[in-house]
Structure 1
Amino acid sequence: MVVRALEARDRRRARSAPPPDGREIRILLLHANGMGGTVRTVFNLAGHLARTHDVEIVSVVREREEPSFPVPPGVRVRYLDDRLPRRKGLLSRFPSRLVPKDEAAYHWFTLRTDLKLVRYIRSRRRGIVIGTRPGLNLIAARFAPPEIITVAQEHGNLSSHQPLVRSQIVRRYGRHDAVVTLTQADLRTYERSFDKARRERPAVLAQVPNATPRLGGGVSPLTAKTVVTVGRLTWGKGYDLLIRAWAHVAERHPDWTLRIYGGGPRMEKLQAAIDKRGLTERVFLEGPADDVGAVLADASMFVLSSRHEGMPMVILEAMSKGVPVVSYDCPTGPKEMISHGRDGLLVKPQKIHAMADAISTLIEDEDLRREMGANALTTAARYDLDVIGARWENLLSGLVERRRALGGPSQDPSEELSEELSEELSDDPSDEAEPDLPASSVMSRPGP
């Protein structure tokens, strides 16, 4: 009875849906008041789109009073699960039923966030919804109503997700109007994954890099004997590798210092590694940077030691200050941003001595450092907000025009809902680990 009612509801919505409209844009974000590259770049994009659209950032949770980054003019922020009050409700005690347990942010989601997010998505009657991480994209794919255009944005890369998450991405992302990656390498990975699994692709697979945030401060004079890096203190950022490399740099250039900006769970372990190698006067854990632009403008080199990345915006931020970059050539990101030998140096992943040698090369050759710094300014200009924003505008307007050309939803919602139920009830062992759905919440949207 419930299933038939839901089928009828979506059929009615599909028949009476207004013409596709891209004026309203809603961007789903895990925690808008948090720190990190995804939050910063989402605010950056939202501010640009707000010039010509009605833009709202929908934060799934709220655990801090105010956003860490300035909210751009014309952008609103909505919170679905406000966790600041002491009483959080009974449903907050139960884990999510909709987000894969292997999703990196799974611990943020609860049954309360599931219900609030689904209710919000189902309440939309027009416009575009953009998701910014797998958990959000998967829920949007399953529950967005037929009149809504949905876009799944990948802020990391497909290969960095756990197997269960990857399998659900390939299984469900085909329902989105578009999937947008940050790099060409990741775009190719998505294409191969859909083809290998024989799953339907989304209507549009596209690559659009993040734009360079406009930072305060001027261009670096490249005179300070300081190397910096900025990011969360996590295993993936590879700061343990960088500290080991700096031990070799310090032997050759004891007058240079490394400053690591950021907070995170590995603070104590990294400090212990610094102390163990006698680098307490050479390597400094500075905590989160209040002004990234000022930090970069005071540096003569930026180093990225990550084991994996999506598209590390901090590389472009450093380049926008005329600072050359030394980076591990991890699977996606750096090689598409850095022209080796022109605006920076790429190093074979996780090689300690190679990283130390590359850093020392730029320390010892001031002319090369300045030449690369000047070229870095040119590289950063290609990622200016107006340039990247125009690509997003073209992408979104193209999705609206495509829907209009199709006359709105192109598939009977009941057909896809029935397919959804068949998948949920199948005995396929590959689906055993997937989170169960409450029977009363099983809905889906027609593919584009």
Structure 2
Amino acid sequence: MRILLMHAYGMGGTIRTCLTLAEHLAGHGQVEVVSFVRTRDEPFFPFPEGVEVTTLDDRRGGARRGLLARLPSVLVHPDDHTYAKLSLLTDIRLLRRLRSMRSGVLVTTRPGFNVLAARHAPPELTVVGQEHMNIASHLPGLTRDIGRTYAKLDALAVLTEADRADYARMLGAARTRVEQIPNAVPALGGGLASPDNKVVVAAGRLTPQKGFDLLIPAFADVVREHPDWQLRIHGAGPQRPELRRLIADRDLYSSVFLMGPTAQLGEALAHGSIFVLSSRFEGFGMVIVEAMSKGLAVVSFDCPRGPSEIISDGVDGVLVPELDIAALGAAVSELAGDRERRARLGAAAIETAKRYDREAIGERWDALLASL
């Protein structure tokens, strides 16, 4: 069993959930995580015991790069967001690895890698593609290639039922088995959150997709009614300067904090009582389940896709219309003023999160792999 990742040593939801899957599968046999690149000495997330991690292109140390490393990839689709980080060198090394894989299963973890494996994997190799983003989020050129090549995959695992239905329609009578398998929630430290904590937590890459530029003005409305509450945003990314300006422009520097990335997400969540997902779109919204597992009351935009398949509105969380800043602020403000409702939603959320336990999701992966 091999799992192909862009950067196993990096930070991100796909990396964390794929390592969780690797840990489960290692209980049944040998598992290798193949990382396209490596840029750091220590992994951001600890590697599971019994899982081998190998690298195609080790970029540590600032060594001089050869010509192949400076030429663009010809195998990875240019509309895949990893394209600019890959090269002809990674192409050659991956093809060599693929040709050495004469049996077993390869799990690929993004659309560009799925397309590549569908075209170039040896026929004896079972290839399972994973989609960690919703089908509508892909650029048009990549979507066309997906339609042409995914029929060559043995199976495709998607995160939401809506995506399963869309891919099933796209692939029609193809032999590819399309299965909806959500990500498993990893074990998180820090204990359960208390509804007494006057902290709202958000987490994710600081990019436009995650909508923190929408969350900050929404929280300005919360602070007017509840000035003793804080918003803590955990994550790193290119939008940090813009978010800092937003905080300063709205005079929120004593209420909104950019906390930076954390490898202890459980502890960060446990310091809050409300979690907010402000994304413009998602593949699933794994961080919602992680917050639920800690007993936080969750407020989320009803964005495509994932939140509405996880949250039962008013039962274990609150859904508000996507991109509606006023509605987001009003929902958070209402919860900030109602401790009992926070506690009730948080308790129900813990029960919902159990559906995404590592063993429960692992059994679904076991069943899929056994059927291939």
Task: Give runs of aligned pairs for residues 295-334 of structure 1, distance below 5 A.
Answer: 295-334=268-307
2:65 to 88, 92, 117: 88
Unmatched runs of 5 consecutive residues or more in structure 1 = 1-24, 400-448
How many correspondences in the alignment?
A: 371
Instruction: Give the 3-state SS of the residue equivalent to 2:356 in structure 1.
Output: coil
2:151 to 145, 162, 174: 174
Deviation sequence 1:182-227 (CA, Å, 0-9, x none)? 00011112123334xxxx5342011000001110121112211100
Q: Which residue of structure 2 aligns with residue 36 of structure 1? A: 12
Structure 1 moving runs of 4+ over 3 Å: none
Question: Which amino acid is the alignment partner of residue 71 of structure 1?
Answer: F
Instruction: Give the 3-state SS of the residue equivalent to 2:183 in structure 1.
Output: coil
Instruction: Give the 3-state SS of the residue equivalent to 2:89 in structure 1.
Output: helix
Question: Which amino acid is the alignment partner of residue 340 of structure 1?
Answer: D
Q: Which residue of structure 2 aligns with residue 9 of structure 1? A: none
Identity %: 51
Query: Is the alpha carbon distance of 1:261 and 1:88 closer, same or farther for their aligned partners in structure 2, counting shifts above 3 Å?
Result: same
Name the CA distance, whole Å, in 2 between partners of 1:40 and 1:354: 31
Deviation sequence 1:369-404 (CA, Å, 0-9, x none)? 1010100110011110010001000100111xxxxx
Question: Which amino acid is the alignment partner of residue 47 of structure 1?
Answer: E
2:44 to 44, 47, 68: 68
| Deviation at residue 88 of structure 1 after TM alignment | 2.6
Contact 1:182–1:210 (CA under 8 A) maintained in structure 2: yes
Deviation sequence 1:205-252 (CA, Å, 0-9, x none)? 110000011101211122111001010000000000001111111111
Contact 1:118–1:139 (CA under 8 A) maintained in structure 2: no
Q: Which residue of structure 1 aligns with residue 221 of structure 2? A: 248
Deviation sequence 1:7-26 (CA, Å, 0-9, x none)? xxxxxxxxxxxxxxxxxx10
Name the CA distance, whole Å, in 2 between partners of 1:285 and 1:231: 11
Question: Which amino acid is the alignment partner of residue 173 of structure 1?
Answer: Y
Task: Give runs of aligned pairs for residues 259-274 of structure 1, distance below 5 A.
Answer: 259-274=232-247
Instruction: Give the 3-state SS of the residue equivalent to 1:359 in structure 2.
Output: helix
1:120 to 90, 93, 97: 97
Task: Give runs of aligned pairs for residues 130-145 of structure 1, distance below 5 A.
Answer: 130-145=107-122
Residue 373 in structure 1 maps to residue 346 in structure 2: yes
Residue 160 in structure 1 maps to residue 134 in structure 2: no
Contact 2:134–2:304 (CA under 8 A) maintained in structure 1: no
Q: Which residue of structure 1 aligns with residue 264 of structure 2? A: 291
Contact 1:222–1:298 (CA under 8 A) maintained in structure 2: no
| Deviation at residue 135 of structure 1 after TM alignment | 1.6
Question: Which amino acid is the alignment partner of residue 117 of structure 1?
Answer: L
Residue 57 in structure 1 maps to residue 33 in structure 2: yes
Instruction: Give the 3-state SS of the residue equivalent to 1:382 in structure 2.
Output: helix
| Deviation at residue 140 of structure 1 after TM alignment | 0.6
Residue 212 in structure 1 maps to residue 185 in structure 2: yes
Instruction: Give the 3-state SS of the residue equivalent to 1:61 in structure 2.
Output: strand
Q: Which residue of structure 2 aligns with residue 345 of structure 1? A: 318
Contact 2:45–2:263 (CA under 8 A) maintained in structure 1: no
Q: Which residue of structure 2 aligns with residue 363 of structure 1? A: 336
| Deviation at residue 309 of structure 1 after TM alignment | 0.4
Name the CA distance, whole Å, in 1 between partners of 2:214 and 2:120: 42
Question: Which amino acid is the alignment partner of residue 369 of structure 1?
Answer: R
Range moving further from structure 2, 72-81 or 94-103: 94-103
| Deviation at residue 365 of structure 1 after TM alignment | 1.5
Structure scoring higher RCO (CA < 8 A, sep ≥ 6) equals 1
Instruction: Give the 3-state SS of the residue equivalent to 2:136 in structure 1.
Output: helix
Unmatched runs of 5 consecutive residues or more in structure 2 = none
Question: Which amino acid is the alignment partner of residue 178 of structure 1?
Answer: A
